[in-house]
Amino acid sequence: MNPSCEALQGLLESDGFAALEDLIAEPQRHALRRAFDSIRVGAGRRDGLELTPVRELATEVINDPRLAGFARAFAVRAILFDKTPEANWLVTWHQDTTIPVRARREVAGFTSWSEKDGVPSVRPPAGVLESMLTVRVELDGSSGTNGPLRVVPGSHRGGILIREEIESVRAVGREIECLVPAGGALLMRPLLLHASSRASSPGRRRVVHLEFASDALPGGLEWHAAIGRRAVP
């Protein structure tokens, strides 16, 4: 059973994540899988919003009635993942702490500048990340054997953590494996601690990782993209 809009917001506040079992239907999954097959994806491709099916997905996601609590949101990045027997990776425990912007500007609180796939990235103040929402759309479904995401509930409430703090939270927190069917999605806060293991079974696990923001950035900084603003009734 899918949670209501109010329940989703409550779960994201308390646990930092929630699941929707039927976000998109088979025709859209098919179009997205074809888009994956037309390019090289592997362990992470960050230009997903350049693909028409992914832009359409971002718009559809944020206009879903169950996400009415995020009415001002727009997609700022889409990362494509394709875990296969040939590209079978693991990800250690971490938070997502950088955002993509159009150009570098020195603004107080924005640090650790880098460039990823030609796009400037920066670590913003925790408040920016706390207001964001990640939607991970499963095209093939996740199981206990294909390297699903694992999370520590409630770990998003501690702000940006250094390595020692991550280890401390892991030592006392419980771990949950997030199993989501094909066409479903995992909603999560970027600061939620998460990891994934290598798959132990053959097959593919394709995921569209969408990052949404709701507010403009300060000091002349601009989001690298702003796709899929909710339609006004």
Tokens 């703090």 — which residue?
Answer: 165
What is the number of other CB atoms lying within 10 angstroms of the CB of residue 124?
23
Strand ranges of the sheet holding 205-213, from the earlier edge strand across to the other edge: 17-20, 185-188, 133-138, 205-213, 74-83
Residue 233: what pLDDT? 47
What is the number of other CB atoms lying within 10 angstroms of the CB of residue 130?
14
Tokens 């199993």 — which residue?
Answer: 179
Chain segment 98-109, per-residue pLDDT in tens:
999 999 999 999
Residue 43: what pLDDT? 63
CATH code given to domain 5-189: 2.60.120.620
Residue 42: what pLDDT? 63
Report residue 97 as tokens.
Answer: 């702490």
Which stretches in the chain have pLDDT values below 50?
232-233
Residue 61: what pLDDT? 93
Chain segment 205-223, per-residue pLDDT in tens:
999 999 999 999 999 999 9
**For residues 87 and 80, is the Cβ–Cβ distance under 8 A?**
no
DSSP H or E stretch at residue 169: helix 163-172
**For residues 102 and 224, is the Cβ–Cβ distance under 8 A?**
yes
Instruction: Report the C-alpha gap between 6 and 126 in whole angstroms.
Output: 24
pTM: 0.94
* Residue 115 to residues 51, 100, 134, 186, Cα–Cα distance (Å): 21, 9, 21, 27
